[in-house]
Amino acid sequence: MNTRRDFLQKMGASALMLQLSSISAFADTPDLIEQPYEGKVLRVAIMGLGGYGTRVAEAMKACNKAKLVGVISGTPSKVKDWQAKYSIPETNCYHYENFDQVKNNPDIDAIYVTTPNALHHNQVIRIAKAGKHVICEKPMALNAREGQEMVNACKKANVKLLVGYRMHFEPRTLEVIRMRNAGDFGKIMFFQGQCGFKIGDPTQWRLNKALAGGGSMMDIGIYAINGARYMIGEEPVWVTAQETKTDPVKFKEGVDETIQFQLGFPGGAVASCLSSYNINHLDRFFMSGDKGFAEMQPSTGYGPIKGRTHQGELTQPITTHQTVQMDEMASIIFEGKKPVVAVDGEEGLRDLKIIDAIYEAVRTGKKIKLTA
C-alpha cells in the first residue's frame, strides 16, 4: 500500500513545508499531545475465565497502565486457550487448588476475581495471604459479614482490595456527579433505578443460591443501590422492600425474581428501585432536584451509556469501561490516586450491608434502619 507515499510525493513543496511547520508548532504545545506512558504497569492475573473474565481480558489489550500476565482456572482447556491467545507463560498459570503459590511469583502484582459470588470470600482471603493486591467483581461477597472478613484480611496483609465498580470511572456518570456537586440540580429529592432483563438458561450459576447468594438483587440490583448512593451523594438510613415471584420453578427458594426496594437518605431524598430477572429493557436511572434533573438510559450497561439533564444531552466521550477501570485501578494501587467515587473494599461493604437489609425487609415486611 503506497497511498500515503504517493500522496506526499504529489504534494507541492510549499504545502508540505506548511504541514510540517504546523506539526512542529503543535508539538511545541505539550498539553495537546498524549505522551506515551512510561510508568509502572500493573501485572494482572484473571481468576475465572468465563464471559466476564474474557471481557476484561479483551479490554485490557488497550490499557496503558495494566497488562494481563496470568490466569487461574479450574478448566485446563481454558488455560491453554488463554495462553495461546494472550501469550501467557506457563509459569503464570494456576488452578484453584494451587494458586496460593502465586506468593512466590514476582511477575504478578494483582489478581482479578471474576468467579461466582459464593467463591469470592475464600479466594480473596487466600490471595491476600499470598501478598497480592485483589480486584474483586461485585457483589464483593454474599453478605456483609463475609465482606468485612475480606476487608480485614487485605488490611492485615497490607494489600489493596478493590471492587469492579466500572461505572465509577464512566465519563457521563462522572459528569452527572460533577453537576450535582456543583449544585446544578439543587436539592436532590428523588432517584429512580431500574435494572432488569429476562434471564435465560435456568441451570446457570446465577440461579443457584449456593453460588449466587440470591437472584437478581445480587447480580443487577446492586447497580441501583450503588447508583442511588453515588448520584444522590449520601448514604441511605432506611430501606423497605417487596418481592414478586411469578415463576417459582425457575426462581427457586432464595433466588429472587423481582424485588422493588425503597431507600431513604438523610437529606430528605428517597429512592425507588426495581431489580428483576423477568422484565426486559430496564437499565435506567433518573434523579430529580429542585433545580433540575438527570436521566441515564442505558445507565449501567456495557455501553454506550446515554444520558441527558435539564441542560441538554450528555456528550462526554464513550469509553470501554473495563479498559478505563483497569488503568485507573493501576493508578490507585501504585500512585495512591483517589477516585471521584471510591472503589475499595469499604465501598463494596456498604452495598452488602444494604443488600442484607433489603433481604431482611422482604422477609419481615418491616422498614429496616441502616447504620454506618
pLDDT at 21 over 80: no
- Mean per-residue pLDDT, 164-174: 98
Tell me the pLDDT of the chain averaged across its residues: 93
Cα separation, 254 vs 213, whole angstroms: 8
- Mean per-residue pLDDT, 41-48: 98
Report the topology of domain 167-318+345-369.
Answer: Dihydrodipicolinate Reductase; domain 2 (3.30.360)
* Grid cell 479483551 in the structure block, residue: 58
- pLDDT bracket for residue 14 (50, 70, 90): very low
The residue count of the chain comes to: 372
Ramachandran area for residue 287 (φ above 0: left; ψ -120 to 50: alpha; else beta):
beta
DSSP strands (E only) in 223-366: 238-244, 258-264, 270-276, 282-289, 293-296, 307-309, 312-313
Cα separation, 267 vs 236, whole angstroms: 9
- Mean per-residue pLDDT, 58-86: 98
Q: Which amino acid is at 144?
A: A
Q: Which grid coordinates belong to 90? A: 506457563
Would you state the pLDDT for residue 176? 98
Cα separation, 278 vs 93, whole angstroms: 38
Task: Find the helix or strand (DSSP H, E) in which 204 lies.
Answer: none
Domain with CATH 3.30.360.10 in the chain: 167-318+345-369
Q: Which grid coordinates belong to 294? A: 438527570
- Mean per-residue pLDDT, 118-125: 98
Q: Is the peptide bond before 202 cis (omega within 30 degrees of 0)?
A: no
Would you state the pLDDT for residue 303? 84
pLDDT at 27 over 80: no
pLDDT in tens, 142-166: 999 999 999 999 999 999 999 999 9
DSSP string, 106-161: TT--EEEE-S-HHHHHHHHHHHHHTT-EEEEPSS-SSSHHHHHHHHHHHHHHT--E
Distance of CA 210 to the CA centre of its chain: 23
Backbone angles phi, psi at 364, to 5 degrees: -100, -20
Nearest-5° Cα angle at 188, 184 to 192: 115
Per CATH, is 42-165 categorized as 3.40.50.720? yes
- Mean per-residue pLDDT, 158-181: 98
- pLDDT bracket for residue 256 (50, 70, 90): very high
Q: What is the largest CA-CA distance in the chain?
A: 82
Q: What's the pTM value of the predicted model, to 2 decimals?
A: 0.90
Would you state the pLDDT for residue 286? 99
Task: Give catalytic residue positions.
Answer: 138, 223
Q: Pick the closest to residue 299 from 231, 200, 208 (CA basis).
A: 231
Would you state the pLDDT for residue 285? 99
- pLDDT bracket for residue 22 (50, 70, 90): very low
Would you state the pLDDT for residue 349? 98
DSSP string, 27-95: HT-GGGS-PPP-S--EEEEEE--SHHHHHHHHHHTT-SSEEEEEEE-S-HHHHHHHHHHHT--GGGEE-
Domain with CATH 3.40.50.720 in the chain: 42-165
- Mean per-residue pLDDT, 40-58: 98
- pLDDT bracket for residue 34 (50, 70, 90): low
